[in-house]
Structure 1
Amino acid sequence: MSHKTLQDHLSGWAGADPLRGAVGESVLALAQAGTAISELVAAGSLAGSMATVRGYHEDGDSQKELDVIADTMVREALGRAPVALLGSEEADEPYALNPDGLLAVAVDPLDGSSNIDSNASIGTIFSILPHIGPHSLLQPGTAQLAAGFLIYGPQVALVLTLGEGTQIFLLERATRRFLLAQPGASVPHETAEYAINASNARHWDSSIRYYVEDCQAGADGPRGKDFNTRWIASMVADAYRILARGGVYLYPGDARKGYQHGRLRLVYEANPVAFLMEQAGAAATDGRQPILSLQPTHLHQRVPLVFGSRGEVERIARYHLDSSAMPERSPLFGRRGLLRA
């Protein structure tokens, strides 16, 4: 069975449009960098001590050896593409690349770097925007021309949207080409699976705590069905699973210092994943409003993030916005109450 290559897919989509052509060139450059990064990931400790801490960001997040290497690989690849401005998690300020470039690109070069030495899936996330001046990276998510992520797991996959659905390409290692494996990913509207780091439960606000408690109550609780829970500490892995079979992912803000406004980055993590999810029929919010509607104020801005099956994302928003949407918590309506809903 023959599969369309990523290059053919992008060429057919771009046609003679110069802006689309620039997007296609940039996606191919990111795919090339991702292929090289995946080979380092696959080599594990044979490639060196990739999980060694090289330093810390201003907010205290550690920077690993592979974070730095991946950043360099992505920057060098995009330096050969029509990209004027590159914003990266690994750099305080944007990189100026091609002065004649038509695009601005924001990247998390290595998502899930805490898993580098544990043989769990990690990845690269990217957002492609039109270059409109020095503040091009601060456009809302609705301005994205394309977005995606590469995931380095048992299969190396490129998940991509060009604003016309969400496609999944797999790396054919022998030829180093990405081939179209799924032309239209579609996330089920409903789910019985959620992903959240439950070790932070004591710091959550009541809306998140009540939501998780209702899921944990299972068939005996107000949801009336049993739920599974998953948490990989690598957002691309959770996102890929949700694209494959549905689910919902929650990384809320909480009461810890530095976490009040969430921990994930709006420009190069939340926005691209939100674009992918919406193009697959799913949804993404900060718990209250759509991620893609938010106006970034700085490159490394943090945001709470909830994404996945639309029905569940909307339910979580109701927990935040409307206390009447939450099941009654009076003892009469408790798990053993006479009037349990």
Structure 2
Amino acid sequence: MYTLGEFIIENRDNFSFSTEALLRLFSSIKLAAKAINKEVNKAGLTEKIGSSGITNIQGENQQKLDDFAHRVFIESFKSRNVVCGIASEESKDFIVIKGDQKKAILNQYIVLIDPLDGSSNIDVNVSIGSIFSVYIRKSSNNLSLGLEDFLQMGNKQIIAGYIIYGSSTILVYTTGNGVHGFTLDPSVGTFYLSHPNIQFPNIEKMYSINDGNYARFPEGIKKFINYCQEEKGDRPYTARYIGSLVGDFHRNVIQGGIYIYPKTALSPEGKLRLLYECNPIAFLTEQAGGKASDGKKRILDIKPYKLHQRTPFICGPIGMVSKLEEFMKK
């Protein structure tokens, strides 16, 4: 059974950039994941449960574990001399990390993170996660990082993944050569390969949407929901919605289903963040044989214009997403 490090080394020919840098990067991610996993598992016994009383840059109540996860990731990346800049859903501006100039060739990565996705579920002990997205900086090493280093289209990602904290803790990632999952063995603190070559199954089984907002959805979304609920062929599909993107996506990519977070009358630009949530999950979706769209166009081809940009988001098996796009066109 491969450990995460062994798997990276074994598959080093499938990654176009430095293997040493990749190992350093995942060393940071693993360190942060284990620290967050530890706090999540004992959240009900500590003072880290509940709201921090702070409203974050998104205009949302920040949970205590949101802030903890944010700080853990920042410190973990700082310690490995592999990341030159970080943008976090919890920060207004990007963060520049000064690395060892002698190892500048390793210090090329731009990381965008949602430190704790689905944090509103913390208090009720439902699966939550962390999402990460990695790019190569665009600016020269001898220049300061600029906003253009972070506002790259999703098709420029070189790595994307997430960690889901549930009945077990699983790290899932892609470097553009398939999607692979590694489960944490807490007795030894090691991630072992448990889900090789994850692909959407060839079944259309479920749909995931908060249909409490049904009245505010575009007509095309309403018609697709009605289609999912019809008694015809292999329908009706099962409705499953956790309210954590990582939790919903992980279930759907394993069992077969579509995830939908459309724009609404109250959120005309959508609700999910393009850079921190949609781009990395879209990269994983395509690598798992699926499709990711805003209802009209490919997510990975959207040109971002600000750090906290939002977008409608649909991802899942190609057939289901294409069917939804048909309803949107009509």
Counterpart amino acid of residue 145 in structure 1: I
1:5 aligns with 2:3: yes
In the alignment, what sits opposite 1:269? 277
Change (3 A) 1:169 1:177: same
1:118 corresponds to which of 115, 124, 134: 124
Give the equivalent residue in structure 2 for 1:327: none
Name the Cα RMSD after superposition.
1.6
Please report how far the alpha carbon of residue 50 of structure 1 lies from its aligned counterpart in structure 2 after TM superposition.
2.1
The code of the aligned residue for 1:119 comes to N
Deviation at 1:217, TM superposition (A): 2.5
Which of residues 186, 197, 200 in structure 1 aligns to 2:199?
186
Is the Cα contact below 8 Å between 1:23 and 1:146 reproduced in 2?
A: no
**What is the CA deviation profile of residues 54-110 of structure 1, one whole-angstrom value per residue up to 9, with x for unaligned ones?**
311344211111000000000000112310000000000011113442100000000
How many residues are aligned here?
A: 315
Asked if residue 228 in structure 1 is aligned to residue 227 in structure 2, the reply is no
Which residue number corresponds to residue 26 of structure 1?
25
User: Which amino acid is 1:30 matched to?
Assistant: I
Query: Is the CA contact 2:3–2:193 (under 8 Å) kept in the aligned structure 1?
Result: yes
1:137 counterpart residue number: 150
Other structure's SS at 2:214 match: helix
Equivalents in 1 of 2:87, 2:278: separation in Å?
Answer: 14
Aligned to 2:142: none
Question: Displacement, 1:28?
Answer: 2.3
Secondary structure at the residue paired with 1:180? Answer: strand
- Once the 2 structures are TM-superposed, how far is the Cα of residue 17 of structure 1 from its aligned partner? 6.6
Query: Given the two structures, how large is their TM-score scaled by the length of structure 1?
Result: 0.89
Structure 2 counterpart of 1:12, one-letter code: E
Q: Could you tell me how far apart the structure 1 residues matched to 2:199 and 2:210 are? A: 25
In 1: Cα distance, 2:286 partner to 2:172 partner: 13
Alpha-carbon distance in structure 1 between the residues aligned to 2:211 and 2:95: 37
Match of 1:212 in 2: 225
Change (3 A) 1:59 1:169: closer
> Which of 157, 161, 177 is the equivalent residue of 2:170?
157
Change in 2 beyond 3 A, CA 1:24/1:226 = same
Q: Give SS of 1:218's match.
A: coil
**Does the alignment pair 1:176 with 2:189?**
yes
2:66 maps to: 67
Q: In the aligned structure 2, how far is the partner of 1:294 from the partner of 1:75?
A: 27
Match of 1:310 among 309, 318, 328: 318
TM-score of the aligned structures, taking structure 2 as reference length: 0.92
Conserved 8 A contact 1:190-1:311? no
Percent identical among aligned pairs is 33
Which residue of the partner structure matches residue 127 of structure 1? 133
CA distance in 2, matches of 1:200, 1:8: 45
Q: Judge conservation of contact 2:173–2:284 (CA < 8 Å) in 1.
A: yes
Deviations 1:111-150 (A, max 9, x none): 0000011110001000010012322111111111100000
Aligned partners of 2:198, 2:16: CA distance in 1, in Å? Answer: 26
Structure 2: which 5+ runs fail to align? Answer: 140-145
| Long gaps (5+) in structure 1 | 324-341
Q: Give the distance between the partners of 2:272 and 2:283, measured in 1 at CA.
A: 15
Indicate yes or no: 2:248 matched with 1:250: no
The residue aligned with 2:208 is 195
SS in 2 for 1:248: strand
